Amino acid sequence: MRICVAGAYGAFGQKHLDALAQIEGVTVTSIMGPTQAKIEAMAAERGIGHAATTLEECIARDDVDAVILSTPTQMHADQAVACLEAGKHVLVEIPMADSLADSERVVEAQKKSGLVAMAGQVRRFNPSHQWIHNKVEAGELKIQQMDVQTYFFRRTNTNAKGEPRSWTDHLLWHHACHTVDLFQYQTGEQASEVFGLQGPAHPELGIAMDMTIGMKVPSGALCTLSLSFNNDGPLGTYFRYICDKGTYVARYDDLYDGYDNQIDLSDVAVSNNGIELIDREFISAIQEGRKPNGCVSDVLGAMQTLDRIEKTAYEQ
């Protein structure tokens, strides 16, 4: 499997490069980044044969079978469609688009091409959430409520590496997308009731810096999500699953019970790294000619819910 990583110089592009290095039978043949000097230096450091500053140059190559897009959110839809039209399988980092209309465009392109197109819903693959999912599927747990906090301190336009961004992040279409998809995936239901509240927009960035989201599925399970770019403290996302038989707290790839006792996840998957696991699923789906977990058509339900939440938030 010959892979191109677009947006390789960014924080998540590098996470994907590290993950792919752990997967047998995979070669990164091409990378794309913002400036020729930076991306060529990275290619030389990692022993990658081709580097470019445009996706078009990368997907025109015969030695690229599939593309991982770790590029700015606003580019995702157009680039995913371009990859599919060029005959390349594509894994597009979360979110696959920042609007429902663009998400639908990606899904249509996937259907037309018949290729693997996967959205980067990594929470489906974190061992902590996989453990919960397996218990729910086996009938051993029933989710009654998910209480989720997504907190950052990001009052300037910087990325996870603390470097200036060329694009603006978004609490709803990026960070809430993780939880909206996960809640519907874990419960196996589409949200039937939703609301969204947002705080004042940042005077320069033009985005809400605080949001509250509520969801309910037909079976009665609830999800409460708090998001902030104003939190001066520990960063990241923490999920509390309140179930009929126990409470569990997921912190990325780790899981604890309600009394903060860590749960052994060593037998959940072949790795404890969610990024590696999502990349493995992408590659396996291509090799096996099957639909992946996280296919863009399956994630469309989350984008529909985000669209509904956005409408309620703007009405306030």
**Which residue ranges form the domains of the chain, and what is each CATH number?**
2-122+275-295 (3.40.50.720), 123-269+301-315 (3.30.360.10)
Helix (H, G, I), strand (E, B) or coil at 274: helix
Strands of 89-93's sheet in order across: 50-52, 27-32, 2-6, 66-69, 89-93, 117-120
Look up the pTM and report it. 0.93
Percent of the chain with pLDDT over 70: 94
Distance, in Å, from the CA atom of 14 to the CA atom of 249, rounded to the nearest integer, reads 27
**213-268: pLDDT as tens digits:** 999 999 999 999 999 988 888 778 999 999 999 999 999 899 999 999 999 999 99
Encoded amino acid at 77, one letter? A
Identify each DSSP E strand in 217-306 by its residue range. Answer: 222-228, 236-243, 246-251, 254-257
Among 205, 129, 222, which residue's Cα sits nearest to residue 171?
A: 205
In this prediction, residue 153 has a pLDDT band, given cuts at 50, 70 and 90, of confident
Residue 234 confidence (pLDDT): 79
Given a contact cutoff of 8 angstroms between Cβ atoms, the answer to whether 240 and 247 are in contact is yes
- Burial label for 127, CB within 10 Å (0-12, 13-18, 19+), is buried
Rounded mean pLDDT of the chain?
A: 93
Residues whose CB falls within 8 Å of the CB of residue 285, separated by 6 or more in sequence, listed in order: 116, 118, 291, 292
Among 132, 126, 147, 143, which residue's Cα sits nearest to residue 252?
A: 126
Task: Give yes or no for residue 167 having a pLDDT over 60.
Answer: no
Residue 302 confidence (pLDDT): 98
Encoded amino acid at 133, one letter? H
User: Region 130-155: what's the mean pLDDT?
Assistant: 94
Strands of 222-228's sheet in order across: 193-198, 210-216, 222-228, 143-151, 236-243, 246-251, 254-257
The H or E element spanning position 68 is: strand 66-69
**182-202: pLDDT as tens digits:** 999 999 999 999 999 999 888
